[in-house]
Amino acid sequence: MSKKIVKFEYEKETKNSVRNKEVPDEGTAPIIGSLYVQKWYAGSSKSIEVSIDKKD
């Protein structure tokens, strides 16, 4: 099992959500890419982190 913290920064607002783009570690490819979070939850935050647990 491995755990990864993926960081995202604000990209733009859509009708009901906020699109965030992944900030990959230097020299690596993005894991998720873009992430949409509903406005009621995202609020005015400019960055978010998502934890992924990969179970082998």
Q: What is the pLDDT of residues 7-17, one digit of tens each?
A: 999 999 999 99
- When pLDDT is cut at 50, 70 and 90, the band that residue 34 belongs to is very high
Residue 31, domain member (yes or no): yes
Q: What is the pTM of this model?
A: 0.86
- Whether the pLDDT of residue 5 is over 90: the answer is yes
Mean pLDDT in the chain?
A: 94
Q: Is residue 55 part of a domain?
A: no
As a whole number of angstroms, the distance between CA 4 and CA 2 comes to: 7
Task: Give residues with Cβ within 8 angstroms of 26, minimum separation 6.
Answer: none
**Which range of residues forms the domain containing residue 40?**
2-50
Assigned domain for 56 exists: no
- pLDDT higher than threshold 80 for residue 25: yes
Spell out a b/e string for 6-28, using b for 16 or more CB atoms within 10 Å of the CB, else e.
Answer: bebebeeeeeebbebebeeeeee
Tracing tokens 């992944």 back to the chain, one arrives at 22
pLDDT at 55 over 90: no
Pull the structure tokens for residue 6: 């993926």
Helix, coil or strand: residue 32: coil
